[in-house]
Structure 1
Amino acid sequence: MIFAAGFGTRMGPLTMDCPKPLVPVAGRPMVDFALDLIADFPAERVVANAHYLADQIQDYLEPKGVLISHEFPNILDTGGGLRRALPLIDSDTVVTINPDVIWRGPNPLNMVAEAWDPDKMDALLLCIPKDQTIGRIGPGDFTLSDGGRPTRGGSMVYGGVQIIKTSTVKDIAEDVFSLNLVWDKLNHDNRLYCAQYPGKWCDVGRAESIPLAENLIATDV
């Protein structure tokens, strides 16, 4: 699942008439870089959610075989958006990806799939050491134990790729909720894990990060 419903307000004027996933990076809509990773991953189906300028998202992604989960009238945040998309996902587990980042190194989707252990995990997040990130503003998200169990706060940055059991979002009372709520519940039950990404990663959430991402794309790692 591609999270493509957001307003992209940190992009400023670039997203006044264009949804953030379609903002050009290195001459391509930035969602194309997520699609490249998905093309190298054995996904049975691909779903994207859409809310802001949803017609543009649909017109671009549907011809590429992506199913669209519309969030209307309200945007539902990551957790609510994932739950809305479950009929289209039609699976016990799903890999999610944020389209506003650039990865340089191994395919992150393959990494979480290879590290996934459903007997002990309900969600597995892919994280990057902050000194391997570009364009990241603010502190990290987690500290990881040797076994991959996270605690909040630290120098590890969640990279926007995870594998998660779809049952984890089914019983949340709220309609609009973040996956952070789900992660905290799973962490309390010792069912949340993280894996560490060995390559580079660029946050393209702001307009000023686009040249940084383009430089990373052009750099051999």
Structure 2
Amino acid sequence: MRHALIFAAGLGERMRPLTNHTAKPLLSVGGKPLIEWHLEKLASIDVRYVVINTSHLADQFPDALGDGSRWGLRIRYAYEGPTPLETGGGMLNALPLLGPEPFIAVSADIYSDYDYATLPLQPAGLAHLVMVPNPDWHASGDFVLNEGQLSEDGEGQRLTFGNIGVYRPEFLQGQTPGRFKLLPLYQQAMQARQLSGERYDGFWRNLGNPAQLNELDAHLRGS
């Protein structure tokens, strides 16, 4: 049984005023909360156990999503406290709930038609990341993809991390609980050639502000 983590603890500052009273992953797009699109996709590939990390307006998540049974899922919530722990600290905080096997991790504030079923059950290294063509707002990209391996520099395609990946728990080995980003761990894994990746050219959107949310809503409604 595959497990998954959904990052949902952000403050949604650029999405204000919408996020003053509604957690960003619970904003409606295409007729349902954004996070529901992820839950449905995960359930469709036989993921049955999902951890959602929370911070800002955390109480709204169990009220809106319950225990996950309506999707055939079991949802557990990993509360980070009033201040989000960043991606690294949030993943480490959720790790005790995720079990010993590799798990899928996805950010709640993206939307994509990427098929989660194509993610490797066992990444070749410590983690496997889905990379996308660089959007206008991030033209320089994040990492270089060359023959399935990611690096900071060198020959190959410079792409943007699409916030979809598979991680082994060992990826976080030796980390101390608290606030920290995943970037230094990606850098360490790349130096050890333990970070694989793939390019995805399909529909993918990062939802950072109300205009992007409205654009996606119109797309999903076919208007």
Alignment match, 1:148: 148
Task: Sort the Cα spacing of 1:187 and 1:155 in 2 relative to 1 into closer, same or farther, 3 A.
Answer: closer
Alignment match, 1:111: 118
**Shift of residue 179, structure 1, vs aligned partner:** 1.3
8 Å Cα contact 1:49/1:69 also seen in 2: yes
Alignment match, 1:102: 111
Alignment match, 1:51: 55
Distance of 2:173 and 2:62 partners within structure 1 = 25
**Shift of residue 150, structure 1, vs aligned partner:** 1.8
Alignment match, 2:215: 212
Alignment match, 1:70: 79
Letter matched to residue 30 of structure 1: L
Give the percent of matched residue pairs that are identical in Structure 1 and Structure 2. 27
Matched, 1:129 2:137: no
**Shift of residue 191, structure 1, vs aligned partner:** 0.1
**Shift of residue 171, structure 1, vs aligned partner:** 0.9
5 Å-filtered alignment, 1:152-167, equals: 152=152, 155-167=158-170
SS in 2 for 1:6: coil
1:9 maps to which of 5, 13, 26: 13
Aligned residues: 209
Q: Deviations over 1:6-55 (max 9, x none)?
A: 10001010000110000111221111111121111222411100111000
TM-score where L is the length of structure 1: 0.86
Superposed CA RMSD in Å reads 1.9
Distance of 2:199 and 2:218 partners within structure 1 = 23
**Shift of residue 76, structure 1, vs aligned partner:** 1.0
Letter matched to residue 119 of structure 2: V
SS in 1 for 2:138: coil
Alignment match, 1:90: 99
Task: Sort the Cα spacing of 1:99 and 1:69 in 2 relative to 1 into closer, same or farther, 3 A.
Answer: same
Letter matched to residue 191 of structure 2: H
Distance of 1:127 and 1:28 partners within structure 2 = 26
SS in 2 for 1:96: strand
**Shift of residue 144, structure 1, vs aligned partner:** 1.0
Alignment match, 1:81: 90
Unaligned 5+ residue runs, structure 2? 69-73
Distance of 1:92 and 1:117 partners within structure 2 = 9
Alignment match, 1:26: 30
SS in 1 for 2:49: coil
Matched, 1:39 2:43: yes
Q: Deviations over 1:88-108 (max 9, x none)?
A: 11133111011111113x41x
